[in-house]
Structure 1
Amino acid sequence: MIPDEARDAPRTDVTTGEGTAQVRVIPAAGATAPRGTLLLGHGAGGSRDAADVLALGGLVEEGWTVVLVDQPWRVAGRRVASRPASLDLAWQDVMVALADPGWQETYAPLPRPWVVGGRSAGARVACRTSVAGAGPAVAAVVCLAFPLHPPGKPERSRAEELLLPLAAGLPTLVVQGTRDPFGGPEEIAAAVGSERERLTLVPVPGAHSPSRDLATVRAAVSDLLSALP
């Protein structure tokens, strides 16, 4: 389920105001007509490449170019993630750099529409920056294991971040482990309230690393992308 292209794609440095980020571009496969570009960010800890993120590299078979983004703190080898504002600024700088025609001519074309997403902290970044107005317009948001709150602290909800793309009318997907200590599917549904009808929520087995059913993870994202105009 995890294509070699996702594991082995070369990293390209991208200069940001927060330090050097890196991207790996996995081009759409074969003669498939280009459908768009999916840009994915990582979480704040754990392995460098989570299985659920890597599995989405298989979407190149459906005409999507997949871009895996490493934040500057991770490229620098630090163990602790940067603060949210720094993560957002770096992500926006990467988006602007990759949208430049000169960059695409040198490295790889990145067809529109652009969909942004990530797992855990990367999902938060995608939600916050999707409506920030910096960089290219975003067509949809993909959240893998959205961390609704710290474990055991539901009062510290981050629902307002998830509500940002929903309130802006962006198609938004959350793939959430049924035993996620950062908030299970039922908590996600309750937290978005009246915006629930705008959200596609897909429960999968697992905790905060919903990788036990990679086929469902990929299918959920594929369905979202296929529904885009």
Structure 2
Amino acid sequence: MIVDVDEFEVATPHGPARVALEAPNLCFGLLVLGHGAGGGIEAPDLLAARQAAGLFAVARVLQPYRVARRKAPAPAAQLDESWACVLAALTDRFPDTPQIHGGRSSGARVACRGAVSADPAPVGVLTLAFPLLAPARRDGTRPDRGPEIDAVDDAGIPVLAVSGENDRFGVPSPGKHRRVVTVRGDHSLKAKGLVRDAVASWLDELVPERRRLSGRVD
């Protein structure tokens, strides 16, 4: 399926965010994806998720600090606020459309933090290379970011966490509403085919109608 990419900017209090939107004519949902701290929206795992989307619109979101060509990530509060602005703009474009929020690494953290208060609430959250442990501090401690992803599970929102089996930042554990898939590789998640298949299978279960109408078979 070939779909044109519509690129546009969304105003936020921290500068414009940029959205690359691909939307099929027949759309059963909206998948919104954020990038990693020092990367962009062309990361292999984000492109794999885009390929898996099928009859979903896919919006890949470039945070304002990256639009401004800064590599150092903005503070979490700014990331979250900019993300919320983009979600509001996309909801206006896709009213009454089920949304799945997600991203890779830092973007996965942003999606998790926003999911529990988003309006409308997402029907699922996709985390790619969720960094369970922060980089080591000078004293050797590594803060645990598990509460961010656990809060989504506690809210009853289905989560798919895809991580490399050798991810130096750790791998989330399964939860009541959280499926964890480990694939070959590390934090970069370059095994695009494995990531794509894991995401496609989860989306088919989350929205069964998309499997039937896209002609997917086991």
The question of whether the paired residues in 1 share the 8 Å contact of 2:100 and 2:124 is answered with: yes
Q: Distance in 1 between matches of 2:11 and 2:83?
A: 11
Residues 17, 114 of structure 1: CA spacing in aligned structure 2 closer, same or farther, 3 A cutoff? same
Q: Is the counterpart of residue 169 in structure 1 residue 156 in structure 2?
A: yes
Correspondence list, 1:59-208, <5 A: 59-60=52-53, 62-100=54-92, 104=93, 109=94, 112-133=97-118, 135-152=119-136, 155-183=142-170, 185=171, 188-189=172-173, 196-208=175-187
Read off the aligned partner of 2:66 and give its amino acid letter: R
Q: Distance in 2 between matches of 1:54 and 1:48?
A: 8
Q: Distance in 2 between matches of 1:68 and 1:205?
A: 24
Displacement of 1:140? 0.4
Which shifted more, 69-78 or 40-49? 40-49
Residues 148, 4 of structure 1: CA spacing in aligned structure 2 closer, same or farther, 3 A cutoff? farther
Q: Distance in 1 between matches of 2:104 and 2:141?
A: 19
Specify every segment of 5 or more residues in structure 2 that has no aligned partner in the other structure, as ranges.
208-218
Q: Give the corresponding residue for 2:216.
A: none
Q: Per-residue displacement from partner, 1:72-113 (whole Å, max 9, x unpaired)? A: 11001111110111100000011112212xxx2xxxx57611
The question of whether the paired residues in 2 share the 8 Å contact of 1:34 and 1:111 is answered with: no
Question: In angstroms, what is the RMSD of aligned CA positions?
Answer: 2.1
Q: Distance in 2 between matches of 1:12 and 1:47?
A: 16
Residues 46, 14 of structure 1: CA spacing in aligned structure 2 closer, same or farther, 3 A cutoff? closer
Residues 39, 154 of structure 1: CA spacing in aligned structure 2 closer, same or farther, 3 A cutoff? farther
Which shifted more, 51-60 or 114-123? 51-60
Q: Distance in 2 between matches of 1:170 and 1:71?
A: 24
Runs of 4 or more, structure 1, over 6 Å off, are: none
Q: Distance in 1 between matches of 2:2 and 2:56?
A: 16
Structure (1 or 2) with the greater helix fraction? 1
**TM-score, normalised by the number of residues in structure 1:** 0.82
Residues 224, 48 of structure 1: CA spacing in aligned structure 2 closer, same or farther, 3 A cutoff? closer
Percent of pairs identical after alignment? 39
Q: Distance in 2 between matches of 1:16 and 1:47?
A: 18
The question of whether the paired residues in 2 share the 8 Å contact of 1:123 and 1:142 is answered with: yes
Displacement of 1:23? 0.4
Q: Distance in 1 between matches of 2:164 and 2:186?
A: 5
Q: Per-residue displacement from partner, 1:33-66 (whole Å, max 9, x unpaired)? A: 4220100000001455201101222235x21111
Q: Is the counterpart of residue 226 in structure 1 residue 211 in structure 2?
A: no
Displacement of 1:198? 2.1
Q: Give the corresponding residue for 1:11.
A: 7
**TM-score, normalised by the number of residues in structure 2:** 0.86
